[in-house]
Each structure stands twice: as C-alpha cells, then as structure tokens.
Structure 1
Amino acid sequence: MIIEDEVIIARYYMETPKSLEKITRNAASEQSTGLGTRSGFETGGLIETYGAKVVSVDSTEIGDLNKGIVEIAYPIKNFGPVIPMLLTTVAGNLFERAEIKNVKLLDLDIPPAYLSEFKGPKFGASGTRKILGVVDRPLLGCVIKPCVGLEPETFAQAAYEASVGGVDFIKDDELISNPAYSPIEVRTSATMEALDRAEEETGEKTLYAVNVTDEVANIMGNAESAISNGATCLMINVIVTGFSALRMLAEDQSIKVPIHCHRDMFAAFARSPAHGISSQVVSKLARLCGADH
C-alpha cells in the first residue's frame, strides 16, 4: 500500500534488453531494502515499511530493447529532508546496473508535507522584480565578458555601460569567483559604485550577482564579503558546490539578497534525452534549497 504523503514518486525513462517490469522491481529493491535476493534480515515487515514500491510500468518493445516510462515510490522515512540522501536514493546505484542500457530521472512528485520541511527561496521572481521596480516587461540580464582577466576597475566600467544601456541584471561569469587579480571585496565595491552612478543617471536599478562559489568552508565568507561591499544579489555554481551548499547559503538569516544559481556541469548528465537527470528535477531541488532564479 502506497500512502502518497509518505513517499516521493520518481519517474524514469528506461531502456533494457530484459523485462522492464522485472528491472523496475529490482531497481526499487536495490534503492531501498536490498538487491532483489532477500537475506534473513530482510523481513516482510521491513520490506513493507521501508521498501520502495513500483507504481507503474509503461513498456514498449522496440527492436531488441524494452523502452518505457516507469514510476517508483520511495518512502520518505528512508532519507528525510536531506537532498544528498534523496538523490542517493532516486539516482544512486540505479545508474550503474549493467542490464539497464539507459535510464533518465525525469521528474519527482513531492508531497506538500515534504516541501514544508524546506524554507525555499526568500525572493523568487516576484521578489526580484519588486527590488528592481519592474513588473510589466521581461527582465534583461547580461554577463560581463571576457569571462576572466578583467581588473576590478575595468569590470566595473563594463557593468556601468551595461546598466546605462538598460540591463536589469548583471552577473559574474561562472568562471570568475575570488581570484587574486579580482578579489570579491574589491570587484564588488568597484562595481556597486559604478552601478550607483548609473542609477543616478537613469533612475533605474541594476542587480549585480556576485559569484561566491568556492570550497564549501569559504562560501559564507565570500557571501559576507560581497554583501558588506554592497552586493545586491549572490550567485553560486550549484551543481559543482552541491545543493546543500546552496541550502546553507539560502537559509542563513544574514543573507538578505536574492540567490542566482548557475548550472555549469549540468549538461554532463542532462544533455542526453535517454540517460541522466532532467532539468526539471534539478530545478525543483534548487528551488527547494532556496534558489531565487
């Protein structure tokens, strides 16, 4: 019996030369209580309480492969409101199984009770628009180029010109964070002074998202440095730093600016239509962990 409020249902696309229904049952077992072959400790009661259950299998035989969409329900009690353990459950050893030619995690159906365990974004799209005072048109954003190598003063001048030109949102490139030639505190201070000057001329605000990506132990320090020097937005490369790093940043009460997430390295597991993890899953998890955009 599946109680919807107590499970997260993962939807996958799978390809296998074997029975898709059998492969799905084995996957549900391996990603919860066992490996398909029961041990003496894997009791019926344990399986009923903690075992993942197959919800549906929609299989079509095409050539030598069985392809289709399958759904597996995973008990929330197995991982709790912990994104690393959720991902380990729904996207762990499943991807290593030799009998599965391809598998793509397409979506997660998450019940309201689980959603309530997360604080989510502080601003979102509507809050960002409110900061900018723009409600009736698309927001225009840009990235300062070249990606790396600009001294803070030159970077700030480029930001000024973009702002005067009508840009609402400026972000660091994902390739620059806190290099010796452009430390966060110096680059942020220079850029915000330039954007204040642009606002005086145009009467319009421009957000600047400072990239605070770093080793996890340094992220909060980078954020504090950026904000103390006037940053109006923060940016983090969420795939390489991890969802928990984003959550740590977003749930800190001292962070009172929007957080912009960059997707670099995402295509390594999202580009194939048949294998990997979909953008929808990544976007949902980032939202849970506090990404504003």
Structure 2
Amino acid sequence: MDTHEEWGPDAGGPATAVVTGASSGIGHEYAGRLAAAGWDVVLVARRAERLASLARRLREEHGVRAEECVADLADAGDLARVAARVAGEDVALLVNNAGINGYGLFTDVDPALLTKVVALNVTAPTVLTRAALPGMQARGRGAVVNVASLLAFSGDLPPDPLPQRAVYAATKGYAVTFTRVLAAELGDGPVRLQVLCPGLTATEFHLTTGREPVSGAAPQVHRDGGMPAPDVVTASLTALRTGETVCVPGLEEARALERLAEAEAGVRSGAGAPLASRYRPAADALR
C-alpha cells in the first residue's frame, strides 16, 4: 500500500496527519517528512515555543496547514482535547509518538513519575487510537503508527548497558501487543496499524526522565549515539507501504519476527493442556 496513493494527500479529499511528541526527535522528523509529502499536520507536544517554530517552518517551506496543539497527554483534560481533534473527518494518519522514559531503579523512582509514564505511554495512545479508528474505517482509509522501542523485547536482561527500565519497557511491550492484536482484529480492512520499534536513536530522549521536557528552543541530541531519526522514520514509512505491522528499523533479518511468532505459538500450546509434568509431583503431594 502506498502511503500517498491510497489514503494520503493524493487520494482525494483532505488528509491530515496528527503527530504527538512533535517538538523533537522522531516526532519532529515525522512532521517534516509528512509535510514535505503534502500532508497537513497537527503538531502535539508540551513545548509551545518549539511547536510554533516548527509549524511556521512547515507552512513556509511546504505550503501545508500546520496546527499547533500544546498539550500534556498525561493530563486527562489535554488528552480529551487532542482526542476530539484526532476524531476529525480530515485525519487520515495518527502517529502516537509522545513518550517519556522514567528510567531509574523501580523502588527509587517517584511513583508520580511512574504514573505519568503509564499515562503517556499506554493510556494516551489507547485513547487516541480509539478516537481515530471509527472515522478512518467509515471513510475507508487511514493508518495508525504507535512508536514503541526494542526495549519492549528486552525481557529480563539486566541494566548496564541497558537502562533501569521496568515500567518503560513494560509500557512499550503494551504498545507492541496492543498494535499486533488490534491489527489482527481489523484484518484486511482499510485501516493499517504499525508498531515502530527502534533501538537507540540519536535524539534528546535520554537527556531527561520526562518529568519536565528538555529546555531550549531547538531539538537536541544526546551523546549516546544511535540511529539517526530520519532513518527511523524512513523505515516506518516504507513499512507502511509494504504492510509490516512490526517495524524494526535496524533488523536486517526479517525472519527473526517470524521466529518470534513461532516461539509465542509454542508457549500458547500450554493453553488447555493438562498440568505439565514438572508440576505433577507437587500436585500429587497435595492429594
């Protein structure tokens, strides 16, 4: 499926993309790439100054409509306001990119910050996707991209060099499962779902745990390196055309995702089966 020919700006009628977390990093790159392709954009983020600068540049360079929507999606009122916009008849693409990490030892991190991580990384994309889908289905076109992370697959790997990430990784695991199951629910209908799972990306994401946004008028890049944000977005937009539900920008061997699905099927074989032999001695002792 081509992201423009079938449901983008060239498909007839208005085509607006809503991009959350648009003030820096991956979201900033999505906004620029989509505007260059002719999409009108709704830019959602907490930093008004950065949004105003980005919107102004996109209007001047690409002649598109660029709306600024200053919002903290962890706030219920702001989330409801953005959800109402996402449900608009012109919206054909939703990029749920906003997120924070809340990194730290679980028992040391402020519970309020952990609550904010869950609100922004889990509740917000769920609510916004629910707001977007009915209209997209009725109009017969649309797509939702949920930005996750390869940390969703990090399991019980210990910190160092990985961050202390129990809640963050769990929220990104939710994004992966939510998107995969919802894509299966929608089937071959007119709306496409994708979960984007980048590894370390060269953005400002690691400069803060997320309680407050990074200061400064221009997006920054942390010193940890990683894949350039333009490459991440290129992978995502290409995967939308080719129909990949799970997009891992740095994964050369796509067969690895098939093996993951096969492993999951093996685990599910325990559903409805009798008690496994390793548990039977204890069960017999209780009789």
Check whether TM > 0.5.
no
Rg comparison, structure with higher value: 1
User: TM-score, normalised to structure 2's length?
Assistant: 0.30
